[in-house]
Amino acid sequence: MKPTFYPRLAWMGIKKNARLYVPYLLSCAFMAAMLYVIAYLAVTPALYTVNGKVNGSGTSAVAMTMSLGSFVVSVFIALFLFYTNSFLLRRRKKEFGLYSVLGMDRGALSAILFWETLLAAAFTLIAGLGLGLLLSYVSQSALLRLLSLPAAAFTVSLAAIKQCAITFIAIFALLYVRGVLSLRHAQGAALLKSENVGEKPPKAQWLLVIPGLALLLGAYYIAATINDPVQAMLLFFLAVIMVILSTYLLFISGSVTLCKTLQKDEKFYYKKRNFVSLSSLTYRMKRNGAGLASICILSTMVLVMLASTASLYFGAEDAINTLAVQNHWHPTEMADVRAEFFSLYGSLFFLGILLSVLFLFATLLMLYYKQVVEGYEDASRFAIMQRVGMTKRDIRESVNAQMLLIFLLPLAAAALHLAFAQPMVWQILQLFGIQNLTLFLGVTGAALLLFVLLYCAMYRLTSNAYFRIVSTGGAAA
């Protein structure tokens, strides 16, 4: 056997599944670039020294903020790539099943998977670090300007490159191990049918709905009734955990209950546009619920992060002036305090922008993957319906009905979470000297509007992709 046999099969598999692999590889490269940028900003001399001297008060806050940000991003990237890689693995299992039926053993399948993982890792590091170098230059200039620090020479950080390389090598190694383990216990015939295996919805839905509602109402009560900023800071993370748990419980169980209730309504269920879409949703609702909950949580994180960090930065001057009057500061003290405030709040705002871009990108990519992969799974069912008289227009109406449910639920829940989080976030911001409530509400409204516009654009993109796949029987790969 030629040594290039397995690499060629791996490359052919990537090309054949380009609709899934290209967004995956681009997202890996983008996340590698973002990790390098944040790691670079945590150590670059440009932010901390000019001509060998420390820039001034508050710059240590920038290093601390960016170091914390690089840790958060590393953890998030690992979780996100495991999630998106599962879509690829589900799609490839049918192909691996065919190889198995044709006589390949698990060692050969593992070799193909190894080369796919190696190619993906190589592209991620080369493209990601190349993009990261470009973005780090832009980010350094932007952050220096944001913090009112003098311009400085650009450098390349070997420490940031090393951190990025180690993180992604470890992630891809774990992805490979996960992939090998998923293939080890499956037979060829089972792999061939893996795309058509649905997930059974939970039987005792109300056992999940009741605690989910209790946790959510409890978190909302805490956020709405607390009046002490110190207590708000202490209880904020408890409320966040309660909201996350309740969101997953309610999306998994509540979506099942909703679909079953709609199926019992014969007038609604037995319409062409509702029958196929609702059947498809119920078929794999447990997986749908978890995915939609993840999208909702990420959306809420983006909105809260942007609103709070932007309020800190744009409200910093008012906070400084208020504190100066209360404490009778001299001009020299004012200069030092202003440097400290803008270094901390500016770096938090900049990190908030970077993380929001990362989380927003992940949210949109999750929606895309979810609909494309499920489009391939639904293609056979739509093909059957076309044979018995379903038209392209009927398919479009059915797709729109399914898309609206999938897209509106996370967005509506995220907006509701944001509304109830407002009082608690405002209490916490007051601890940092922010007193301009109008500014906070205005920034929050702007962040929500921008997010909704991007979300609607993604709805259009994924709806069209899903329609093309199911209307052509999955041939539009």
Residue 41 structure tokens: 């900003």
pLDDT of residue 10: 85
pLDDT average, residue stretch 384-411: 74
Distances (CA, A) of 347 to 265, 352, 450: 54, 8, 22
pLDDT cut 70: percent of the chain above it: 81
Residue 64 has pLDDT above 70, yes or no: yes
Residue 280 has pLDDT above 70, yes or no: no
pLDDT average, residue stretch 332-347: 77
DSSP H helices, 147-199, are 158-184, 188-192
Residue 70 structure tokens: 């690089």
Helices 285-314 and 437-471: angle between axes, nearest 10 degrees: 150
Q: How confident is the model at residue 472 (pLDDT cuts 50, 70, 90)?
A: confident
pLDDT of residue 121: 94
Q: How confident is the model at residue 248 (pLDDT cuts 50, 70, 90)?
A: confident
Q: How confident is the model at residue 198 (pLDDT cuts 50, 70, 90)?
A: very low
pLDDT of residue 400: 72
Of the two residues 10 and 94, the one the predictor is more confident about is 10
pLDDT of residue 58: 46
Residue 290 has pLDDT above 70, yes or no: yes
- Which of 13-22, 147-156, 198-207, 309-318 comes out lowest in average pLDDT? 198-207
**50: β partners:** 53
Residue type, 432: F
Contact 425, 443 (CB under 8 A): no
